[in-house]
Amino acid sequence: MPPHPASTATLDADWPAPYADGPLDATVAVPGSKSLTNRYLVLAALAGDESLLRRPLRSRDTLLMAAALRSVGTDVTDVGDDWLVRPGALHGPAEIDCGLAGTVMRFMPPVAALAQGQVSFDGDEHARVRPMGPVLQALRTLGVQIEDGGTSSLPFTVHGTGRVAGGKIVMDASASSQFVSALLLVGARFDQGLTVVHEGKPLPSQPHIDMTVEALRDSGVVVDDGDANTWVVEPSEIHSLDVEVEPDLSNAAPFVAAALVAGGTVRVPAWPQFTTQAGDAIRDILDAMGADVSLGRDGLTVSGTGEVNGLDVDLHDVGELTPVVAAVAALATSSSQLRGIAHLRGHETDRLAAIRTELTRLGGDCDETEDGLIIRPRPLHGELVRTYGDHRMAMAAAVLGLRVPGIVIENVATTGKTLPDFTGRWSALLGRA
């Protein structure tokens, strides 16, 4: 399929990460949450009337989601900083480019099942090895016809008939919480609603499922999540939304971690006091690693001295933070163990292997365990850090660069997956133009 414009925005440029030669003093405005933006987009496309998403994230993953929804009949229009979403009759034929976005490749097939016609999906080369099977299998169980050449992965084609009867599905979502979220987001539009039961090893990223349930309830959908690993979505209309998208707290993580690593203070305005974003956990993590962290009405303030403690932490709920936490841990004065993150092997890249390999190349000491990483701080040296098309590997390398002279980040534009102008924002953090 021809590349979508949102897919061609990456330049392979290597970027010398700036070294911090003094304490930081910066205020960083962080753009909207990827996870919230893409949930709101899907719900707005399925709603009965038009929705307004205020200050959504515009990055590769969300532009791909908007493009995917447009291609099946939804009108997504820029209104200043906002997006006006007008739902239309869902239809094929359409070709959807998922890029490397887990949210697009998992959330869109159930939407395509509600479209009349054929919808084909493909994405980046690595997207073809990200786990996808349980979503396709669940849709087949519900009677949806899908062709995937027997691979249970991208590329595949969904043959929608415009309606899905619904009912109950049992799936193993231990590889990704997005399998559950994907089905819950559309369940109210199935004739009988939908019951999803997870059976298997523990679910990762539970806060992301809670975020889905809250977004559904904000749209007037009745969801019963009272029993563990079971969600019941009543059939109903989906109400239109008028929502302000919170800043992306996982994208904020490298910026606030910088205050601990380099010393000084970093403030993030509009940090929500209550949130379903898993990335909020960075506050407790940085506190445990030695930062002074305070959340007030004006936002979050993180201060540090440059002295970092190691920690033992279970990141099962918030795997997104792993690369940045690993970078901070590599600069600590004692060892760290990061647990509960075996599922990161199916993320943008095999993140456990990528972190171990790159820290080792820099002179670090990092071991992979069955479900995580052990990091023993060692003096690190400057080197090209490979990013494997993973935005969070690039952000982690920038954190290391604050304290290790000579770090160069390969393909820094990969950060555009979830954060526009990362290099400009990172330079501004250090007071550089």
Ligand X SMILES: O=C(O)C1=C[C@@H](OP(=O)(O)O)[C@@H](O)[C@H](O)C1
Ligand Y SMILES: C=C(OP(=O)(O)O)C(=O)O
Q: Under the rule (CB under 6 A), what is the footprint of ligand X?
A: 35, 102-103, 176-178, 181, 204-205, 208, 319-320, 343
Rounded Cα gap, residues 302 and 345, in angstroms: 30
C-beta closer to ligand Y: residue 74 or 103: 103
- With respect to ligand Y, which residue has the nearer C-beta, 24 or 341? 341
Residue 6 to residue 65: CA distance in whole angstroms: 10
- The half-sphere exposure of 416 on its side-chain side, counting CA atoms within 13 A, is 18
Rounded to whole angstroms, the Cα distance separating 432 from 191 reads 56
Query: Which one of ligand X, ligand Y, none is in contact with 418 (Cβ closer than 5 to 8 A by kind)?
Result: ligand Y
Binding ligand Y (rule: CB under 6 A), the pick from 347, 356, 403, 425 is 347
102 is in an annotated binding site: yes
4 known ligand binder:
no
Contacts of 279 (CB under 8 A, 6+ apart): 248, 249, 250, 251, 252, 253, 318, 320, 321
339 annotated ligand binder: no
**CA 102 to CA 146: how far, in whole Å?**
19
For residue 167, say whether it is annotated as part of any ligand binding site: no
Give yes or no for residue 204 binding ligand Y (CB under 6 A): no
Q: Residue 29 has what DSSP assignment?
A: P
Nearer to ligand X, 104 or 259 (CB): 104
Query: What distance in Å separates the CA atoms of residue 66 and residue 247, rounded to the nearest whole number?
Result: 19
Q: Which of residues 318-337 bind ligand Y (CB under 6 A)?
A: 320
Structure tokens at 127: 């997207």
Question: Closer to ligand Y at the Cβ: 37 or 418?
Answer: 418
Dihedrals phi, psi of 160, to nearest 5 degrees: -80, 150
The answer to whether 261 and 328 have CB atoms below 8 angstroms apart is yes
Q: Pick the piece of the chain touching ligand Y (CB under 6 A) from 97-105, 230-238, 369-377, 393-401.
A: 97-105
Is 361 annotated in a binding site? The answer is no
Binder of ligand Y out of 39, 208, 343, 392 (CB under 6 A)? 392
Q: How far is the CB of 314 from ligand Y (least distance, A)?
A: 17
Is 137 annotated in a binding site? The answer is no
Q: Does 60 participate in binding ligand Y (rule CB under 6 A)?
A: no
Interacting residues of 378 by C-beta distance below 8 A, sequence separation 6+: 363, 364, 365
The residue with tokens 């209104």 is 79
The catalytic site residues sit at 320
**Does residue 418 bind ligand Y (CB under 6 A)?**
yes
Q: Which does residue 204 touch among ligand Y, ligand X, none (CB within 5 to 8 A, set by kind)?
A: ligand X
- Binding site membership for 3-phosphoshikimate: which residues? 34-35, 39, 176-178, 205, 320, 347
- Binding site membership: which residues? 34-35, 39, 102, 130, 176-178, 205, 320, 347, 351, 392, 417
Residues near ligand Y (CB under 6 A) are 101-103, 320, 347-348, 392, 418
- Binding site membership for phosphoenolpyruvate: which residues? 34, 102, 130, 178, 351, 392, 417
